[in-house]
Chains A and B, each alone.
Chain A
Amino acid sequence: MSRIESKGQRFVALCMLGTLLFNYPVLALFNVSRTILGVPVLYAYIFIAWLALIGLMALVTQSRD
């Protein structure tokens, strides 16, 4: 019971983390017209952060029982 609850809490934390990463003001920090390794900074940031978030979600689904 408590395991399931703590799993739920981890997911809520991830949702909040995602909300922070993909919102003003963090997003504004990357809103510049420069490129990194040939890719626009904002574009690169969003995809890397997105992938990391999905990775964390996969990790949390594994953390059971």
Chain B
Amino acid sequence: MLHGTVIILVSFGYLGLLFAIAYYADQRADAGRPVASPYIYSLSLAVYATAWTFYGSVGRAASDGIGFLPIYIGPTLMIALWWIVMRKILRISKANRITSLADFIASRYGKSALLGGLVTVIAIIGILPYISLQLKAISTSFTILVQYPEIIMPSEAGDAPIRQDTALWVALILAAFTIAFGTRHLDAAEHHPGLVAAIALESLVKLLAFLAVGLFVTFGIYDGFGDLTARAAAEPKLREMMAPLGGVAGGYSGWVWLTILSMLAIMFLPRQFQVAVIENVDERHLNKAIWLFPLYMLAINVFVLPIAFGGLLRFPDGSVDADTFVLTLPMAEKQELLALLVFIGGLSAATGMVIVETIALSTMACNDLVMPVLLRLRRLRLNQRHDLTGLLIGIRRGAIVLILLLGYLYFKLAGEAYALVSIGLISFAAVAQFAPAILGGIFWKGGTRLGALAGLAAGFAVWTYALLLPALARSGWLPLSFLEQGPFGIELLKPQQLFGLAGMDQITHAMIWSMVANVGAYVGVSLWVSPSAAEHRQASLFVDVFRQSGETPGARFWRGTASVPDLYSLYARFLGSAAADSVFGEYARVRGLGWPDDRLIADAELVHHVEVQLAGVIGAASARIMVASVVKEEALTIDEVREILDEASQVVVYSHRLEQKSSELEAATAELRAANERLKELDQLKDDFVSTVTHELRTPLTSIRAFIEILLDDPEVEPEQRKEFLGIIAKEAERLTRLINQVLDLAKLESGKTEWIESRVDMKEVISDTLAAMGQVFKEKNIEVEAQLPEEATPVTADLDRMIQVMLNLVSNAVKFCDRTHGRIGIALAERDGCLRIDVRDNGQGVSAEEHEAIFSKFHQVGDTLTDKPHGTGLGLHISRRIVEHFGGRMWVESSLGRGACFSFTLPIGAGS
């Protein structure tokens, strides 16, 4: 049994749980371990989905099918641009310690208190219908749920006064909770980590509750989407709703304007600005939120149409308001617990919105409306008060109560005339008026204070005339003739068909005219009136936020004299001396000073620092007034500001160019260094080469000279010995010639000047020719030669003479190194894997494994060159390998000591160089 007491107890229990979570999160944040995460950030953005979404979407869907969707598709499109727009707003807000939407606009246009005040007034009046919507939703759902198991619409029960009392109670309870959540203490960063955690949980609860109803209606009452659609299709009225565009609800133009409106709302609703910008602790959270938040919106909308169909089928006579289907369907099916869950879900949606919205609005009201006025009233002598924290918190608490009571008042005045969605859209249209001033302000330096004032005032005036007054008229507070005949009977001024523009729904109509007036006045006045120095400075700080370097770009623009104690006591007055000590201490520490320290001077940087810190508490405009009251400052002229800006931008350009130059230089230096290394290496190689060559040349020369000297000095040498000596001389001279030839050959090879004469070469012939040429040598040394040659070998592309040179080299090496007494040489030619492979095997002492690569290097001799007589020039193998490699082949040796050696090389078939 759902007794009223039970519902109230559960509701309070739930609010208490939220408060406990908020308290816990605040404690953790104070302890330095905040619970911030991109998921919490994304869920907190879902404060966008209010009672309007929870109850109202179904109501809207029941009248025009998918007409509720632009409200969620628009934000998805806008969020695609967040990477550009929101990142910029976040960066600006962090640099300037922005505390609210009004603060942002005021700060952009020269810290204008007037502009901040206007924005605050527009926001509060514009949002009132929206807050009243939440109050209406909570009290309606409560009134209906209390009647369980009967379903009686509040309007029929004739107990409207009772329900309005419920709404009043709801307003007061919510005010108490908001005060507890948002204004427990004053925080310089204006962060409420506990609040954000609670809102994230509420987002989760309302999503789960809505999905639960959706699943119950679709699969519990009916038999899935198909069954539901088939039954709906049987009703002509419902059938129409499946393809509703073109006919109802303003058709495509209505759809487009709703999309645009919600694109702006997701950015500029005060509560969205609060959770997305002010409460953001880490810019990188955007990365996840950009897709998670749209996904949330998609999820909470999937079951809207099924529930609407289900409700229309279940209550065909129209006795039940479609706005309540989410609640009345479970009730009609006697699902007590589900109905209670729905009520809690709706409560989450409504309270989340009300709490965040009123906190945002109360901050605005305090910082941008009340404080600037109080600070200017000299009679109050606020400048001399020692502690203003109590005053600030008091103002905010008062504002919260006042705003909720105004919301209740609007509900009483106009709440009954419209459905939930229509009430919400009026608020959307109001906050859309901020778009030109903000978007223009962050991308266009030309926007000025007067332009923004004119634009906002014009847009707001049209909104009031075309949307707010008709809402009041429909509720009977203004004569209906005002709507139907126009004021004083002037047709052209009919609020809902201004200047004769008819044939569209009232939101589209109001948006068109208000945007024309707003953008027109903003741009027109901005271009007409030139900005002041302060505006010029702020415009540059906002638009070029990504191009600023250094910690406090704002400090460049200040000139004057101040004292540290004055600034300290100013800060202490607003945040207490403990906070002031920590701020000044940190500032001094960064500069390598202690605190307190006489050496700390009140220069432009410190003044700017204090002003920005203060702005985080009382808003930019109020902070400006306060700081100006304790320092003596010289006003900069617009020309001076321009000069500073130009200088700064020139410096940026210069440093950019310098950076580019230096990186180019670095690259060039690295290249030069590499080239130098390579040259050094080559030089070393050349030196080594020259010294080796001369050494090799000297050996035969020395022996030639020695024998010639013997012959010269001693004519008595016996003829036989003389013949022997001459033989040695001839042999050494021949070696010398060979060496020089090979050195020349190598030089040519290395410099790439060798001329290659390519032709089809038959390696079998080359081998046969080589063996024939060496025949005499084999006989002399008594060497056995065994050749394994195929019948026919595929010709390869190569240089015939060079191939003979390689073969001669390998075979003569084999001759030199094979066994002295029983020499055996084996030669094999085989074709394998697209290559010809030639092996030359001997049965000599072999080559040790360490030498396998070394013997192919220049001037390498096997064995100890000091004791053994050299057997060759040490260049043959090196040159042979280079030749083989030139034709794409490979040369290597397989051997171990005492087992002979096998030199092999391959040549690719069908490929040349």
- A-to-B contact residues, CB < 8 Å: 7-8, 11-12, 14-15, 18-19, 22-24, 27-28, 31-33, 35, 37-43, 46-47, 50-51, 53-55, 57-58, 60-61, 64
Q: A12-B80, A50-B73 are in contact. List 17 more A-B contacts (CB 8 A).
A: A7-B83, A11-B82, A12-B84, A15-B77, A22-B77, A24-B255, A27-B255, A28-B245, A33-B243, A35-B230, A40-B305, A41-B242, A42-B245, A43-B242, A43-B305, A54-B76, A58-B291
Q: Which residues of A contact B77 (CB under 8 A)?
A: 15, 18-19, 22
Q: Which residues of B contact A19 (CB under 8 A)?
A: 77
Q: Which residues of B contact A50 (CB under 8 A)?
A: 73, 76, 294, 298
- A28 CA / B247 CA spacing, docked (Å): 12
The answer on a CB contact under 8 Å between B66 and A43 is yes
- A40 CA / B232 CA spacing, docked (Å): 10
Asked whether A38 and B227 contact (CB < 8 A) given A27-B252, A31-B243, A57-B79, the answer is yes
Q: Which residues of B contact A51 (CB under 8 A)?
A: 298
Q: Which residues of B contact A18 (CB under 8 A)?
A: 73, 76-77, 80
Judged by a CB distance under 8 angstroms, whether B239 is at the interface is yes
The answer on a CB contact under 8 Å between A33 and B240 is yes
The 6 A-B residue pairs with the shortest CB-CB distance in the complex, in nearest-first order: A38-B226, A58-B291, A40-B242, A15-B80, A24-B252, A33-B243
The answer on a CB contact under 8 Å between B81 and A42 is no
Residue from A7, A8, A32, A57 within 8 A of B294 (CB atoms): A57
**Chain A at the B interface: mostly helix, strand, loop or mixed?**
helix
Q: How many A-B residue pairs have CB under 8 A?
A: 111
Find residues 515-563 in chain B having any chain A CB closer than 8 Å to their own CB.
none
Judged by a CB distance under 8 angstroms, whether B565 is at the interface is no
Q: Which residues of B contact A33 (CB under 8 A)?
A: 233, 239-240, 242-243
Which chain A residue shows the least CB distance to B74? A22
Residue from A11, A22, A38, A42 within 8 A of B243 (CB atoms): A42
Judged by a CB distance under 8 angstroms, whether B500 is at the interface is no
Residue from A11, A24, A28, A37 within 8 A of B83 (CB atoms): A11
Asked whether A11 and B81 contact (CB < 8 A) given A28-B246, A33-B242, A61-B288, the answer is yes
Judged by a CB distance under 8 angstroms, whether B295 is at the interface is yes
Q: Which residues of A contact B224 (CB under 8 A)?
A: 38
Judged by a CB distance under 8 angstroms, whether B229 is at the interface is yes
Judged by a CB distance under 8 angstroms, whether B256 is at the interface is yes
Q: Which residues of B contact A57 (CB under 8 A)?
A: 79-80, 290-291, 294
1/0 per residue B228-271: CB within 8 Å of A?
Answer: 01100100000110111110000010011001000000000000
State which size class the interface on B falls in: 35 or more
- A24 CA / B81 CA spacing, docked (Å): 21
15 chain-A/chain-B pairs, Cβ below 8 angstroms: A7-B83, A14-B80, A24-B256, A27-B245, A28-B246, A31-B244, A31-B245, A38-B226, A40-B242, A42-B65, A42-B242, A47-B302, A54-B76, A61-B287, A61-B288
Judged by a CB distance under 8 angstroms, whether B225 is at the interface is yes
- A48 CA / B809 CA spacing, docked (Å): 77
Which chain A residue shows the least CB distance to B256? A23
A57 to chain B, nearest CB (A): 5
Residue from B70, B81, B294 within 8 A of A54 (CB atoms): B294
A44 to chain B, nearest CB (A): 9
Residue from B69, B78, B81, B239 within 8 A of A46 (CB atoms): B69
1/0 per residue B472-493: CB within 8 Å of A?
Answer: 0000000000000000000000
Q: Which residues of B contact A23 (CB under 8 A)?
A: 252, 255-256, 259
Asked whether A35 and B80 contact (CB < 8 A) given A23-B256, A47-B298, A61-B290, the answer is no
Find residues 78-124 in chain B having any chain A CB closer than 8 Å to their own CB.
78-84
Q: Which residues of B contact A8 (CB under 8 A)?
A: 83-84
Q: Which residues of B contact A47 (CB under 8 A)?
A: 298, 302
Asked whether A12 and B242 contact (CB < 8 A) given A35-B233, A50-B298, A57-B294, the answer is no
Residue picked from A32, A47, A55, most chain B C-beta under 10 Å: A47
- A27 CA / B66 CA spacing, docked (Å): 12
- A55 CA / B298 CA spacing, docked (Å): 12
Q: Which residues of A contact B302 (CB under 8 A)?
A: 47
B443 to chain A, nearest CB (A): 13
Asked whether A15 and B73 contact (CB < 8 A) given A23-B256, A61-B291, the answer is no
Which chain B residue shows the least CB distance to A39? B225
Residue picked from B77, B82, B226, B256, most chain A C-beta under 10 Å: B77
The answer on a CB contact under 8 Å between B229 and A35 is yes
Q: Which residues of A contact B295 (CB under 8 A)?
A: 54
